[in-house]
Amino acid sequence: MDVETIWQDGSFVDWDDATVHVLTHGLHYGTGVFEGVRCYDTQNGPAIFRWDEHLERLYQSAQPYDMEIPYTREELTEATLELLRREQLESCYIRPVAFYGYGSLGVSPGDNPVDVAIAAWPWGAYLGEEALTNGVEVMISSWRKHASSQIPTNAKTTGLYVNSLLAGEEARRNGYTEAIVLNKEGNVAEGPGENIFMIRDGEIYTPGLSESILDGITRDTVIELAQDRGYTVHDRATISRGELNTADELFFSGTAAEVTPIRKVDNVVIGDGGRGPVTEELQQAFFDLINRETDAHAEWFSYVWAVRAGYLNHHISLSESTVDYLRLIHPGRLK
């Protein structure tokens, strides 16, 4: 990973020392919640994208499990910013995770502690750099997405990603890059770690929350960017399996996948078999945004360094002596 440090339960520890007991409750029962967040090396300096929204979802995900995260949002924010500063990470993936720790091993977590860790490491395009331009080939998985009446689908729970693993590995065994998962009714839900969008006749469709999807933060970003550009977005759509084959364009969205075109579904060519024009426009809008080549949605960015090119990180304020020190150890970064 080329990273030396992880934040764990209030302390910065060496990467190899960030361990848990083998009888940790979350290991046995999947009782953990997590987030995947990206920090981008923007033209204004490294900035975490939509950190507040990710952090809010982390706390919301914990609620159905009666999990009380023993740190405030401010404490987790400062820990994350300090972790990125210590490792001098400019473009990276950030993984906060909270889980029931070691104690009682009954199914009920009882009085088990809630452990929290934050790791960050460099991570490029999730489905490959070429996928962003050429698109990916996917298959409809034989595994179905669980319903919200069975397990809360809008909680980002560690144990639920067994479903994603099964779908994704099935696709890769069959020569595809990724899977699409249907819900129990047989309609389109999402990918193993991505939301999905369909374009037909110039309008944009994406499955609604009632279709057993995770309410993705990149999904929300794409919807806003599309509406900003005048597109009609149906964000509570029900999409049948057959509609995928007749779509003009399809693409995935997600923190890891960003905006990735889909060129084939079960060997059926979608549109012209490449990145369609609407997908390309939204993908370009997304990358312009995260690189800060536009001033739009400034509230979505939390800068790692307090001062850079006139930008002030709203999460923290540094003393004058600290800023002087940072100028010394990171010449050219601060001004």
Residue 183 has pLDDT above 50, yes or no: yes
pLDDT for 141-169, tens place per residue?
Answer: 999 999 999 999 999 999 999 999 999 99
Helix (H) or strand (E) holding 46: strand 45-49
- Helix H or strand E segment including 206: strand 203-207
Q: Where are the alpha helices (DSSP H) in 275-331?
A: 277-290, 320-329
| Average predicted confidence (pLDDT) for the chain | 92
Read off the tokens for 286: 């997304």
Q: Is the pLDDT of residue 310 over 80?
A: no
Residue 94 class from Cβ within 10 Å (0-12 exposed, 13-18 middle, 19+ buried)?
Answer: buried
- pLDDT at position 313 is 54
More reliable by pLDDT, 310 or 58: 58
pLDDT at 1: 74
* pLDDT over 90 at 333, yes or no: no
Residue 90 DSSP one-character state: S
How many angstroms separate the first and last alpha carbons of the chain? 30
CATH number corresponding to 5-121:
3.30.470.10
Question: How confident is the model over 101-130, as pLDDT tens digits?
Answer: 999 999 999 999 999 999 999 998 778 889
Sequence-ordered alpha helix ranges (H) in 135-200: 161-173
What does the block give as tokens for 24? Answer: 């940790």
Both structure tokens of 287: 């990358």
Please say whether the dihedral angle defined by the alpha carbons of residues 320, 321, 323 and 324, taken in this order, is positive or negative.
positive
Backbone angles phi, psi at 36, to 5 degrees: -120, 120
pLDDT at 134: 94
Separation of alpha carbons 26 and 235, rounded Å: 33
If pLDDT is split at 50, 70 and 90, which confidence band does 327 have?
A: low
Q: What token pair was written down for 241?
A: 């399996």
Kind plus residue range of the DSSP H or E element containing 134: helix 129-134
Q: Looking at residue 307, what is its pLDDT?
A: 45
For 25, phi and psi rounded to 5 degrees? -55, -45
Instruction: Tell me the pLDDT tens digit for each residue of 15-27.
Output: 999 999 999 999 9
Residue 5 to residues 1, 120, 206, 329, Cα–Cα distance (Å): 10, 9, 38, 19
Instruction: Say if residue 55 is exposed, middle or buried (CB neighbours under 10 Å; 0-12, 13-18, 19+).
Output: buried
- Is residue 184 annotated as part of the catalytic site, yes or no? no
- CA separation for the pair 118, 78 (Å, rounded): 11
CA distance 52 to 57: 9
The CATH number for 129-290, chosen from 3.20.10.10, 3.40.50.620, 3.40.50.720, 3.40.47.10, is 3.20.10.10
* CA-wise closest residue to 176 among 275, 250, 268, 278: 268
Return the sign of the alpha-carbon dihedral for residues 148, 152, 155, 157: negative
- 153 close to 144: Cβ distance less than 8 angstroms: no
Q: Give residue 107's pLDDT.
A: 97
Selecting among 145, 156, 184, 335, the annotated active-site residue is 156
Is residue 324 pLDDT above 60, yes or no?
no
Q: What is the pLDDT of residue 129?
A: 83
CA distance readout (Å), 27 to 23, 30, 304: 7, 6, 32
Please list the residues that pair with 77 across neighbouring strands. none
Residues spanned by CATH 3.30.470.10 within the chain?
5-121
The pLDDT of residue 312 is: 46
Where do runs of H (alpha helix) occur along 142-246?
161-173, 217-228, 241-245
Residue span(s) of the chain under CATH 3.20.10.10 come to 129-290
The model's pTM is: 0.90
